[in-house]
Chain A
């Protein structure tokens, strides 16, 4: 197999916490991403799931160099982009794009959607064949918008349509890789399905790769080839989608899957649920040993002293001393 499109090795992203006093400069770090390694192959969709605050959005933004990584390396098409400056990143941005969670705040309300979608042509100084307007209208048609609405403003569209505008904008540069950060969580269920189908079609048509960040496990299962489960800045399990959902190995994955309600009252009654107690610990001060030990029902002594590393269990990679 060819080399992966994206290779992330031991990625860290810490956010310094504000100081409380004149003499101390930095109180500590919010360890949002704490040692992550994974690859994404061409045409592949990697799902990234976890609770809010586990660092999944930070991963997406750091890969695109919207945040400067603290340490570790990011390679895109064999090119190490970790230390690239903004100007060096600019030509690469045509190949890497992002779709944001909130279709209400990610579109400038004072710009027409035509100019929103066309912005990247202008920034990159590219004139597509047949002119910008034609290219934009083709994109609008492709994502299921009426091309005649070229001159309308974002407020004239519903949430689902706005998300389509965001998708068209991401597609304008014919990217290879798109980070989808919770692209459907702000949408109604019936609209959610439309957008998921659209994303799947576009992936197949244009050979796109996605990093698909979401907290909804059933949505992630639907679109992903492989899934990474994050907890407190670390990947605790990384596996092909079938095996992750069929036989989760990490206790956290198991608990997360068991918490998802099934849309069927008969199955719901039988569902065995592992209710996790407590909340996510503070990422500035993660527990020593395994990060999940404060909520894990299987935690033994080893879990409090040594940190587990990602090890191969069957087709999955699991970071647990006592995998299921």
Chain B
């Protein structure tokens, strides 16, 4: 069964300098209980993809096209075709999102209890006491001690890791089938990151929830993901099961990304192999493959081909897809 099937998602932002194709022709799917990681540099379109699914991109600033078939609590729906008002019935109930910055994504004027209770009340016609009990239950589940009293605290009374736990509790209050976690640990220390990632994976198992994990940390991906989509300049350039991707990356960008991470299990004297150059400007993308100006393997297929044609995302067997002329059709 597929929980969410995204097909040909495009998000364009018209700007005075030209059209920014933030996400271009992106398709993927996710099953219940599965973790899909989306990795890539800043500006590669990973966040925009998910904001589009959640209906959080203002339509007056962007053109969103494509389809996203989603198994909701009342049957299959298309998240992208739906009226934005109707979408509110599903957002926060069937799918929820945690944001990167726990410092700024909670409202500073309301107690955390109020904020969690509100999220429950919107989707459930129950007495406020029931919602409060549910909020306490969730705060306990995410490991906040003394939840019954902490529910009256304001966000500033919590540390960064605790606030991220509050965000998770709020996202899970309606038992969503899909959780989108946008860089959930980037702002946190590594010891707290370990706590949060463990919490997310335990909760995911318990609630059989699917998760889209957006991150640029290749270490976090290795530990948490089932499948990985690598994005570059608005396109998926490689998609594979996590073990395949790390054992056998096919696209030169993925290879470069994996090689450029300093690793504690390697001798520290080894020089890092950096990807040369800068990520491209989204307004003036290079012709041909977007990665070609930084690619060191162009000569293998003839540089002129890479500079003039955009390769397709093609299958390389075993659920492994890559957007590269190298090894294509082999």
Q: Name A's interface SS.
A: helix
- Decide if A68 is an interface residue (CB 8 Å cutoff): no
- Quick one: which of B42, B161, B198, B246 contacts A188, CB cutoff 8 A? B42
CA distance A311 to B237 in the complex (A): 52
- Decide if B33 is an interface residue (CB 8 Å cutoff): no
- Given A196-B272, A218-B263, A279-B162: A263 and B218 interface contact (C-beta under 8 Å): yes
Contact call B264/A260, Cβ cutoff below 8 A = yes
> With a CB–CB cut-off of 8 A, which chain B residues contact A264?
222, 246, 263, 265
Contact call B219/A193, Cβ cutoff below 8 A = no
Q: How many inter-chain residue pairs (CB < 8 Å) link A and B?
A: 140
The A250-307 residues at the B interface (CB cut-off 8 A) are 255-268, 271, 273, 275-277, 279-280
Contact call B219/A261, Cβ cutoff below 8 A = yes
- Quick one: which of B246, B262, B278 contacts A161, CB cutoff 8 A? B278
Contact call B246/A263, Cβ cutoff below 8 A = yes
Contact call B260/A267, Cβ cutoff below 8 A = no
As a 0/1 sequence over residues 27 to 56 of chain A, the CB contacts with chain B under 8 angstroms (1 = contact) are: 000000000000000000000000110000
CA distance A242 to B192 in the complex (A): 25
As a 0/1 sequence over residues 85 to 113 of chain B, the CB contacts with chain A under 8 angstroms (1 = contact) are: 00000000000000000000000000000
CA distance A159 to B102 in the complex (A): 23
> With a CB–CB cut-off of 8 A, which chain B residues contact A257?
264
* Nearest CB of chain A from residue B215's CB, rounded to whole Å: 10
Among B242, B257, B268, which residue has the most Cβ atoms of chain A within 10 A?
B268
> With a CB–CB cut-off of 8 A, which chain B residues contact A219?
262
CA distance A159 to B278 in the complex (A): 10
Contact call B262/A273, Cβ cutoff below 8 A = no
- Decide if B293 is an interface residue (CB 8 Å cutoff): no
- Decide if A221 is an interface residue (CB 8 Å cutoff): yes
Contact call B274/A193, Cβ cutoff below 8 A = yes
> With a CB–CB cut-off of 8 A, which chain B residues contact A279?
159, 161-162, 192
- Decide if B261 is an interface residue (CB 8 Å cutoff): yes
- Quick one: which of B189, B198, B257, B279 contacts A51, CB cutoff 8 A? B189
Contact call B275/A273, Cβ cutoff below 8 A = no
The B176-203 residues at the A interface (CB cut-off 8 A) are 189-195, 197-198
- Decide if B29 is an interface residue (CB 8 Å cutoff): no
The B148-185 residues at the A interface (CB cut-off 8 A) are 159-162
> With a CB–CB cut-off of 8 A, which chain A residues contact B257?
189-190
- Decide if B7 is an interface residue (CB 8 Å cutoff): no
In chain B, what residue has the closest Cβ to A273? Answer: B194
Contact call B42/A263, Cβ cutoff below 8 A = no
- Decide if B75 is an interface residue (CB 8 Å cutoff): no
As a 0/1 sequence over residues 265 to 306 of chain B, the CB contacts with chain A under 8 angstroms (1 = contact) are: 100100111111011000000000000000000000000000
- Decide if A92 is an interface residue (CB 8 Å cutoff): no
- Quick one: which of A158, A218, A275 contacts B195, CB cutoff 8 A? A275
CA distance A216 to B193 in the complex (A): 12
* Nearest CB of chain B from residue A168's CB, rounded to whole Å: 17
Contact call B223/A268, Cβ cutoff below 8 A = yes
Among B218, B260, B271, which residue has the most Cβ atoms of chain A within 10 A?
B260
> With a CB–CB cut-off of 8 A, which chain B residues contact A193?
260-262, 272-275
- Decide if B217 is an interface residue (CB 8 Å cutoff): yes
The B204-246 residues at the A interface (CB cut-off 8 A) are 216-223, 225, 242-243, 246
- Decide if B137 is an interface residue (CB 8 Å cutoff): no
> With a CB–CB cut-off of 8 A, which chain B residues contact A255?
191
- Decide if B256 is an interface residue (CB 8 Å cutoff): yes
- Given A158-B278, A188-B279, A189-B257: A217 and B219 interface contact (C-beta under 8 Å): no
- Given A161-B278, A189-B260: A266 and B191 interface contact (C-beta under 8 Å): no
- Decide if B313 is an interface residue (CB 8 Å cutoff): no
Contact call B271/A265, Cβ cutoff below 8 A = no
The A109-161 residues at the B interface (CB cut-off 8 A) are 158-161
* Nearest CB of chain A from residue B67's CB, rounded to whole Å: 31
Contact call B222/A268, Cβ cutoff below 8 A = yes
- Decide if A83 is an interface residue (CB 8 Å cutoff): no
- Decide if A178 is an interface residue (CB 8 Å cutoff): no
* Nearest CB of chain B from residue A113's CB, rounded to whole Å: 16
Contact call B219/A263, Cβ cutoff below 8 A = yes
Contact call A262/B198, Cβ cutoff below 8 A = no
> With a CB–CB cut-off of 8 A, which chain B residues contact A26?
none
CA distance A268 to B242 in the complex (A): 11
- Given A221-B262, A263-B218, A275-B198: A190 and B274 interface contact (C-beta under 8 Å): yes
- Quick one: which of B41, B191, B268 contacts A241, CB cutoff 8 A? B268
* Nearest CB of chain A from residue B243's CB, rounded to whole Å: 5
* Nearest CB of chain A from residue B1's CB, rounded to whole Å: 25
> With a CB–CB cut-off of 8 A, which chain B residues contact A161?
278
* Nearest CB of chain A from residue B228's CB, rounded to whole Å: 9
- Quick one: which of A189, A224, A258 contacts B216, CB cutoff 8 A? A189
Additional pairs, 17, CB under 8 Å, beyond known A215-B190, A221-B262, A222-B268: A51-B190, A158-B278, A189-B257, A192-B260, A193-B260, A193-B275, A218-B264, A224-B268, A262-B264, A263-B258, A264-B263, A265-B243, A268-B219, A271-B223, A275-B194, A275-B195, A279-B161
- Please list the residues of chain A having a beta carbon within 8 angstroms of any beta carbon in chain B: 51-52, 158-161, 188-194, 196-197, 200, 215-219, 221-222, 224, 241-242, 245, 255-268, 271, 273, 275-277, 279-280
Q: Pull 21 A–B residue pairs with CB atoms less than 8 Å apart, ordered by A.
A: A51-B192, A160-B278, A161-B278, A188-B41, A190-B260, A190-B275, A191-B278, A193-B261, A194-B275, A241-B268, A245-B264, A259-B194, A261-B197, A262-B219, A262-B222, A263-B222, A265-B223, A265-B225, A266-B247, A267-B265, A275-B198
